[in-house]
Amino acid sequence: MSASLPTPLVEMRGISKSFGAVSALRHVSLSVLPGSVVGLVGDNAAGKSTLMKILAGAILPDSGSILIHGRPAVYDNPIGAREAGIEMIYQDFALVPELTVAQNIFLGREQVRRRWGGVRTLDTARMNRRARELFASLGLRVPSVTSPVQALSGGQQQAVAIARATGFEAELVIMDEPTANLGAPAIEKVRQTIEGLREKGVAVILISHRLEDIFAIGDRFVVMKRGEIVANREVGDTCSEEIVAMMVTGRDPRAEGPTA
Ligand SMILES: Nc1ncnc2c1ncn2[C@@H]1O[C@H](COP(=O)(O)OP(=O)(O)OP(=O)(O)O)[C@@H](O)[C@H]1O
Ligand SMILES: [Mg+2]
* pLDDT tens-digit series, residues 15-52: 999 999 999 999 999 999 999 999 999 999 999 999 99
Ligand closest in space to the Cα of 90: 2
From the CA of 45, the nearest ligand is 1
pLDDT at 1: 53
Alpha-carbon distance of 48 to 227, in angstroms, equals 8
- Spell out, as residue ranges, where the chain has pLDDT lower than 70: 1-3, 257-260
Chain segment 212-222, per-residue pLDDT in tens: 999 999 999 99
178 lines ligand 1 (CB under 6 A): no
pTM summary value: 0.91
Determine the CATH number of domain 10-254: 3.40.50.300
- Separation between Cα atoms, residue 242 and residue 225, nearest integer Å: 14
Ligand 1: residue of 28, 48, 181, 223 to mutate (most ligand atoms within 8 A of CB) is 48
Dist. CA 49 → ligand 1 center (Å): 7
Quick one: pLDDT at residue 30?
98
Ranges of H-type helices in the chain: 48-55, 78-83, 101-105, 124-138, 154-166, 184-199, 211-217, 240-249
Q: Can you give the pLDDT at residue 77? A: 93
The CA distance from 204 to 174, in Å, is: 6
pLDDT at 92: 84
- The predicted structure's pLDDT at residue 140: 84
In this prediction, residue 2 carries a pLDDT of: 52
Tell me, what's the pLDDT at 236? 97
Long-range contacts of 129-133 (CB under 8 A, 24+ apart): 130/102, 130/106, 131/101, 131/102, 131/105, 131/106, 131/163
Specify the residue with its C-alpha closest to ligand 1, atom 18: 47
The CB of 174 under 6 Å from ligand 1? The reply is no
User: What is the predicted pLDDT for the residue at 54?
Assistant: 98
